[in-house]
Amino acid sequence: MRKSIPLLIAASTLFLAGCCTAHHAIIWEYRTVPDIGNVNELANQGWTLAGFTSQVNGSMRAELVYVMKHPKQ
């Protein structure tokens, strides 16, 4: 019983300290790029590939568009 009281106090202190800390959300900046060459250039600058989609251009041909993300500064 004597050993469990300090353990309980330590555990509750850590729990409360974790609940009281501020959570800083990351704000992302997004960019779309039309080809894989631009994806590689942005990746070298620290951008991350978030996804890709196909987009129909004026000649009704589908093209891939890449979505890149980077933490906003």
Summarised one tens digit per residue, pLDDT across range 23-46 is 678 899 999 998 889 999 999 999
CB burial readout 28-64, b (16+ within 10 A) else e = eeeeebeeeeebeebeeeebeeeeeeeeeeeeeeeee
Rounded percentage of the chain residues whose pLDDT exceeds 70: 73
pLDDT of 6 higher than 80: no
Global pTM exceeds 0.85: no
* Model pLDDT, residue 55: 81
